[in-house]
């Protein structure tokens, strides 16, 4: 049940970090794991691709410690969507929080 929300939070979370210095797939997976949530690569990477395809993220390959990592930064569109999503989210949550 809470899983459905969580899947949405992956996107907001990603946008949030991508709006502050950039983030890559493996970092997201590890960070979410610290918070107690598991997300598989088969879920995450297609999600990142979709966010980029839709113009919310822009990526480039970097080599860190000899490993290729695709780092994502939020676009203007991405930042604007992040803001709006947070507002709507707050409304929806207050609705069910009594």
Binding site for DNA (CB under 7 A): 3-4, 7, 24-26, 38-43, 45-50, 63-70
Minimum gap (Å) between residue 67 Cβ and DNA: 4
- Nearest CB to DNA, comparing residues 49 and 86: 49
- CB-based contact 46:35 (threshold 8 Å): no
Torsion of CA 82, 84, 86, 90, to 10 degrees: -170
Task: Name which of its own copies, DNA, none residue 42 binds, using a CB cut-off of 5 to 8 Å depending on partner kind.
Answer: DNA
- CB-based contact 59:52 (threshold 8 Å): yes
**What CA–CA distance (Å, rounded) separates 98 from 94?**
7
Minimum gap (Å) between residue 64 Cβ and its own copies: 25
| CB neighbour list of residue 86: distance below 8 Å, 6 or more residues apart | 12
Minimum gap (Å) between residue 89 Cβ and its own copies: 6
- Nearest CB to its own copies, comparing residues 60 and 83: 83
Task: Name which of its own copies, DNA, none residue 81 binds, using a CB cut-off of 5 to 8 Å depending on partner kind.
Answer: its own copies
């Amino acid at each position: 049940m809470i899983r459905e929300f969580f899947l949405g939070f992956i996107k907001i979370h990603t946008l949030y970090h991508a709006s502050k210095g950039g983030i890559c797939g493996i970092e997201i997976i590890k960070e979410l794991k610290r918070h107690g949530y598991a997300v598989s690569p088969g879920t995450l990477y297609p999600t990142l691709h979709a966010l980029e395809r839709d113009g919310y993220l822009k990526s480039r390959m970097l080599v860190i410690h000899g490993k290729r990592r695709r780092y994502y930064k939020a676009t203007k569109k991405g930042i604007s969507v992040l803001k709006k999503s947070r507002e709507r989210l707050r409304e929806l949550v207050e609705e069910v929080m009594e």
